[in-house]
Amino acid sequence: MEQPYPVYRVSAVSYANTLPFVYGLRHAPGRPEIELSIDIPSECAMRLKSKEADIGLVPVAALPSMEYYEIIPGYCLGADGPVRSVMLFSSVPAEKIQKIYLDPQSRTSNNLVRILARDFWHISPAWEMAPDDDSYLTVEEGGGRVLIGDRAFYAESAYPWRYDLAAMWKEFTSLPFVFAVWAANTRVHPLFVQKFNSALQYGIMHIPEAAASLHNERLHKTINLENYLLSNLSYPLDNAKMAAIKMFIDMLRSLQ
């Protein structure tokens, strides 16, 4: 019997924090048939905007710029406290930072640090987009640098001051933070959503296997990947996270 929906093109993220999602989409029994691509966060949003993908793990900051989107209920990439992989590193305490280099791979994290600088730390640093290269372990005196994903782990011991942006948001708002949601640029068949969420849940329920599936010796030596996925990330898209998304987007508009 022919399935009642097309083969959707799905864009997922290439960082370790999405391993459970990718593992589930590749290994869950009864998983839906999809065309899966693995991209950096900013590319997920661009692929949806250009109609190169139908569904993507879209950075929350990119949602307002999309012509049309539907958030797929169920799961997200979030944190209810320290996340470890979205950081502001600096050579001085936050209240003394004079310049912050932003991460070219993440609009959401960049905007989050702008909100925290203005409303939490009450500073007005200069802003500059950092080069997307391997020079992320140093910054000049008085400078700070936003780093996300696996690079944030590698930089943990390189800077004297480290600020976990999800933990700072929690302290500021008392809410969890959502970095990315599964969103579609088209109406998605309900049966697909059911199978899609079942596959994501399978991956979350098999985090040890998902962690073991990543063949990155440097990362495994740097952190306990299984513990990070279990302890620092929060995947269910619940009411508190939906409230956090609304608050963040409202604050984002006030930055413009």
Q: Is the pLDDT of residue 99 over 90?
A: yes
Q: Is the pLDDT of residue 186 over 70?
A: yes
What pLDDT sits at residue 205?
97
Give me the mean pLDDT over the 22-38 stretch.
Answer: 95
Angle at 83 between CA 173 and CA 239, to 5 degrees: 50
pLDDT tens-digit profile of 201-240?
999 999 999 999 988 888 888 889 999 999 999 999 999 9
What pLDDT sits at residue 140?
87
Q: Is the pLDDT of residue 1 over 60?
A: no
Which domains occur in the chain, in start order? 8-78+177-255 (3.40.190.10), 86-173 (3.40.190.10)
| pLDDT, the chain, mean | 92
97 close to 114: Cβ distance less than 8 angstroms: no
pLDDT tens-digit profile of 74-88?
999 999 999 999 999
What pLDDT sits at residue 52?
95
Q: Is 104 exposed, middle or buried (CB count within 10 Å of its CB: 0-12, 13-18, 19+)?
A: middle
Give the percent of the chain with pLDDT over 70: 98
- Helix ranges restricted to H, the chain: 19-27, 41-49, 107-119, 150-154, 165-173, 190-205, 207-212, 217-222, 225-231, 239-255
pLDDT tens-digit profile of 111-160?
999 999 999 999 999 999 988 776 777 788 999 999 988 888 888 888 99
What pLDDT sits at residue 138?
78
145 close to 101: Cβ distance less than 8 angstroms: yes
pTM assigned to the model:
0.91
Q: Is the pLDDT of residue 178 over 70?
A: yes
Give me the mean pLDDT over the 166-195 stretch.
Answer: 96
| Most confident option among 47-51, 93-97, 100-104 | 93-97
Give me the mean pLDDT over the 3-19 stretch.
Answer: 89
As a whole number of angstroms, the distance between CA 213 and CA 210 comes to: 5
| Most confident option among 35-44, 149-158, 164-173 | 164-173
As a whole number of angstroms, the distance between CA 1 and CA 151 comes to: 46
What pLDDT sits at residue 2?
63
Q: How large is the angle between the packed helices 239-255 and 165-173, nearest 10 degrees?
A: 100
